[in-house]
Amino acid sequence: MGNQNFSAKARGELRTIDVDRKVREAIKCIENEINGNDGVYPRNGGALSCNEIARRAGIGITTLYSSTQVNLRAFVNSWLNTARKISPAERVGFRKSHAIRAELWKRKFQALAVSHQKTELDLLAVQSELEALKLENEKFSSRIKELSENRGLKLV
């Protein structure tokens, strides 16, 4: 009976470590999504909560409230408080409207269009310079050929 009790305790400790790992990985994923979405969490209507973190971690919400997860729950709450200060959308429970998202994409598109135009102009300038250099090269080549023929040299 003593070995079974130890074994159960060891399995429980491993589960606790696994839950901690899953929650921290979920938080890192959420942070990356927020950073890639102009500071707004792109899922769940922008709402961040313990439920959302538990869902993303693949654990039950009650797991965060168990007595063995007190430190993890404190970490999650602390992270949520920080994330909510960074993301004003969360504080007012707001969902970015389609118009706002469309405007953001429109600005990104316009910036890309301007960049593309600059690149096209740079390409035209380089192509023009290339043509001028080819003409100059032809002149020099013909001059070298002319001079070598006058001296009786054979060019390879």
Which two tokens mark 153?
């040299």
Number of folded domains that form the chain: 2
Which two tokens mark 107?
């600005």
Which two tokens mark 149?
């023929």
Instruction: Identify whether residues 137 and 73 lie together within a single domain.
Output: no
| Dihedral-angle region of residue 135 (phi above 0 means left; psi in -120 to 50 means alpha; beta otherwise) | alpha
- Other C-beta atoms lying within 10 Å of the C-beta of residue 41: 19
pTM recorded for the entire structure: 0.54
Q: What is the pLDDT of residue 90?
A: 44
Instruction: Identify whether residues 78 and 152 lie together within a single domain.
Output: no
Dihedrals phi, psi of 154, to nearest 5 degrees: -110, 125
- Domain boundary residue among 95, 113, 141? 95
Instruction: Identify whether residues 56 and 114 lie together within a single domain.
Output: no
DSSP per-residue codes, 67-115? GGGHHHHHHHHHHHHHHHHH-HHHHTT----HHHHHHHHHHHHHHHHHH
Q: What is the pLDDT of residue 149?
A: 82
Instruction: Identify whether residues 22 and 32 lie together within a single domain.
Output: yes
Instruction: Identify whether residues 12 and 53 lie together within a single domain.
Output: yes
Question: Which residue from 34, 75, 30 is spatially nearest to 55, judged by alpha carbons?
Answer: 30
Instruction: Identify whether residues 109 and 86 lie together within a single domain.
Output: no
Say if CB 62 and CB 6 are below 8 A apart: no
| Domain that residue 103 falls in | 97-156
pLDDT in tens, the chain (156 residues): 455 666 888 888 888 899 999 999 999 999 998 888 877 788 877 788 899 999 999 999 998 888 888 999 999 999 998 887 765 554 444 445 667 777 888 889 999 999 999 999 999 999 999 999 999 999 999 998 888 888 876 665
Which two tokens mark 40?
């707004």
Instruction: Identify whether residues 89 and 111 lie together within a single domain.
Output: no
